Amino acid sequence: GGTSSIDLMLKMIADKHGEEMANAVADQMIYSSIRTDQDTQRLSVPTRIGVRHPKLSQVIQMMEQNIEEPISPAVLAKDVGMSTRQLERLFRRYLNRSPKRYYMELRLQKARNLLMQTDMSVINVALACGFASPSHFSKCYRAHYETTPYRERGSHAQRISI
């Protein structure tokens, strides 16, 4: 795809100048994560979720584009021309979870990527993923991943240095 050349460039920078430099370049380019040759390219929403429902795909795209400032389920539903209840049924039917839960999981996945792939502070990661406070972020993160963001970052840093 279109980002493979960026991935190659960042890999070359990392090899020659280190991960920190590659991450700094990626940050300057507003490139969220450095992919390795083992990572797959980003797939379309229908392909990723395994469902071909246009309104569901639209809502998920809106969620993905608004991680930093989450949109309420009511507004998401209105934007695709359905009621909040219809949206909830759609998510339950195809994804076996509520829109709110799905959105939270997206935000936490983004946070985990930022913790592992950048040197952003935990507070800035929390804000970048739409959490009003670091304590609320830590609580949600621990409930989902069974570890704190601080421990996650520490264990990841240890794995890299080994």
What confidence tens digit (pLDDT) does each residue in 11-23 have? 888 888 877 777 7
What confidence tens digit (pLDDT) does each residue in 68-120 have? 999 999 999 999 999 999 999 999 999 999 999 999 999 999 999 999 989 99
- Predicted TM-score (pTM) of the model is 0.70
What confidence tens digit (pLDDT) does each residue in 76-86 have? 999 999 999 99
Domains in the chain with CATH codes: 1-40 (no CATH), 45-99 (1.10.10.60)
Sign of CA dihedral 19, 24, 27, 31: negative
Residue 158 confidence (pLDDT) above 80: no
More confident residue, 87 or 31: 87
